[in-house]
Amino acid sequence: MTAPAPHTVLLAAPRSFCAGVERAIEIVEHALTQRGQPVYVRKQIVHNVHVVADLERRGAVFVDELAQVPPGATVVFSAHGVSPAVRTEAGRRHLRVLDATCPLVTKVHAEARRFAARGDTILLIGHAGHEEVEGTLGEAPDDTILVEDVAQAWTVTVPDPERVSYLTQTTLAVDETTEILGVLRSRFPFLKGPASDDICYATTNRQQALSTVAERADLVLVVGSANSSNSVRLVELAQRAGTTAYLIDDAGDIRPEWLDDVRTVGVTAGASAPPGLVDEVVAALGPVCVLEHRTATEDITFTLPSSVRPS
Ligand code: SF4
């Protein structure tokens, strides 16, 4: 790096791994230890290139479809969850399934089943093509309509406006979702929703922590991979606050010209990015004063499935 080092790094906290990601990675690790190689994983276990590469080195085999898994083999479902159709296919192929779906995603699936069972049309706020959305849609495909943005919230139609519920992807931007929900509530006064927010604690906490940091920084670096929804939302949040922000997989992605005239760098990491990568990014910024800005303390943990829990 040739640009002069910035003076200050503001570290947003909480940042990096959430409880759902830690649990998912642990499930693959335990499976490798207890069942030996190979352990197949359907889709990326979490959306991070470093996590996936590390597990691959240790014997995990990532596949896009269950058809790539030999009959009878062990397969792990990723933290983003799967549709019932995928579970059925796994059963048909006699696969030994370990389910690493985050419990907070499982909660959304249960809500989808409940809302559909009472005859509601479900408006699912989320991003088309994201694995979590595909899984949730699969719970009630005939009764669920995806709403991706405010424009769609204004135009979506439902068979019976008095029987309509909403759900959200867990990793959305809190402020954008509030806006979409505002439109839906104005159009569907009978709209019902989950008892508690579907946008998860980890997403909310990371966004809140970065809000204050972004206001004070000349530049924000978000450690995370391009397909990580909550990491991309962090970049957008900083940009909406008027601060230049970049998504980086690791310190090697930092371009020297980004640091021209920059005195204060805000640093955070999406929920699927390993904490060690943040340390490497801070180290790469040179001799700096590091200040942590914490807005919440997280003590949530999720238990492992009994089939891999060490005795
Ligand atoms: S980001 Fe939220 S929903 Fe996703 S794995 Fe982490 S805790 Fe679970």
On whether 18 is known to bind a ligand per the annotation, the reply is yes
Q: What is the DSSP string of 204-225?
A: HHHHHHHHHHHHH-SEEEEES-
- 301, part of any domain: no
- 195, part of any domain: no
Burial 213-236 (b: 16+ CB within 10 A, else e): bbeebbbbbbbbbeebbbbbbbbb
**pLDDT the model gives residue 102:** 98
Question: What tens digit of pLDDT does each residue of 177-218 get?
Answer: 999 999 999 999 999 999 888 999 999 999 999 999 999 999
The number of residues in the chain equals 311
- 135, part of any domain: yes
Question: What tens digit of pLDDT does each residue of 43-67 get?
Answer: 999 999 999 999 999 999 999 999 9
For the chain, the average pLDDT equals 96
Residue nearest to atom 8 of ligand 1 (CA): 20
Token pair belonging to 183: 């439109």
Residue 303 DSSP one-character state: P
User: Among the three residues 135, 155, 187, which one is the final residue of a domain in this structure?
Assistant: 187
Domain match, 97 and 126 both? no
- 302, part of any domain: no
Which structural domain range is residue 37 located in? Answer: 19-102
Q: Is 298 an annotated catalytic residue?
A: no
User: Among the three residues 128, 158, 187, which one is the final residue of a domain in this structure?
Assistant: 187
On whether 50 is known to bind a ligand per the annotation, the reply is no
Domain match, 246 and 235 both? yes
Distance (Å, whole) CA 30 – CA 60: 11
Token pair belonging to 179: 């806006």
On whether 244 is known to bind a ligand per the annotation, the reply is no
User: Among the three residues 77, 102, 127, which one is the final residue of a domain in this structure?
Assistant: 102
Burial 84-93 (b: 16+ CB within 10 A, else e): eebbebbeeb
Q: How far does CA 230 lie from the centroid of its chain?
A: 5
Domain of 24, CATH number, reads 3.40.50.11270
Domain of 183, CATH number, reads 3.40.1010.20
Residue 62 DSSP one-character state: E
CA dihedral (37, 40, 43, 48) in degrees, to 10, reads -10
Residue of 131, 132, 134, 139 marked catalytic: 132
**pLDDT the model gives residue 286:** 87
Confidence of residue 311 (pLDDT cuts 50, 70, 90): confident
Q: Residue 171's closest CA among 225, 219, 117?
A: 225
- 166, part of any domain: yes
Confidence of residue 227 (pLDDT cuts 50, 70, 90): very high
Token pair belonging to 144: 């669920």
| 3-class state of residue 59 by DSSP | coil
Residue nearest to atom 5 of ligand 1 (CA): 20
Beta bridge partners of 219: 244, 265
Confidence of residue 165 (pLDDT cuts 50, 70, 90): very high
Token pair belonging to 285: 């910024």
**pLDDT the model gives residue 3:** 57
Structural domain count, the chain:
3
Report residues whose beta carbon is within 6 angstroms of any ligand 1 atom. Answer: 18-21, 79, 102, 104-105, 170-171, 200, 202-203, 230, 271
- 115, part of any domain: yes
Pocket test for ligand 1, best of 16, 171, 303 (most atoms within 8 A of CB): 171
